[in-house]
Amino acid sequence: MAYKVTYNPDEDCVHASIEGDVDLAMARRYAKEIIKQLRAHNCLRLLNDMRKASIELSTVDLYDLPAWIEEACEEAGVNRFCRRALLVSRHFNDYEFYETVSRNHGHLLEVFADSEKTGIFRDIAKAYEWLGLTTAQPASGPRRPPPAP
């Protein structure tokens, strides 16, 4: 299990990627690291690449995770309206359910699935476009002041 979370200042975007089996505990550790980077850089964009991950979450876990993310973001002082592009493989069959539950919580989440069935995801360029990374503008509105030390 390996993950990487970095901030790209040229794009004003956090880039995250994970490989291997992802259970609920790993998903939460990974999310905490992402939230930490979003907060540290006062960032409103996330490109989350999970195409090489084997997502081992139950339907209940997928239902509960958006509320947990919302609470963790609130506790960390991260703007809940951060735009999150999630790249998943065709083997993650529940991505539409997860996207719906996330949106019901008010998250700005778009799932880009590499799916032969839906054809939603063609290449990473679609996720970049959705995040507005073709222009080097902030994702939405004025940025908050940096966190107090």
Q: Do 36 and 76 meet the contact criterion of CB atoms below 8 Å apart? A: yes
Give the ranges where the chain is alpha helix by DSSP (H). Answer: 24-40, 59-76, 95-104, 124-131
**Does residue 69 sit within a domain?**
yes
What tens digit of pLDDT does each residue of 90-144 get? Answer: 778 888 888 889 889 888 888 877 655 444 444 677 788 889 886 434 444 444 4
Residue 112 sits at φ, ψ, to 5 deg, of -110, 105
**Domains: count for the chain:** 1
Any domain includes 72: yes
Residue 1 has pLDDT above 90, yes or no: no
pLDDT digits (tens, 9 = 90+) for 66-96: 999 999 999 999 987 899 999 888 778 888 8
**What CATH number has the domain bearing residue 53?**
3.30.750.24
pLDDT band, residue 7 (cuts 50/70/90) = very high
Domain that includes residue 46, residue range: 2-131
Would residue 148 count as lying in a domain?
no
**Residue 102 belongs to a domain:** yes
Query: 31 near 53, Cβ under 8 Å?
Result: no
36 within a domain of the structure (yes/no): yes
Residue 116 lies in a domain: yes
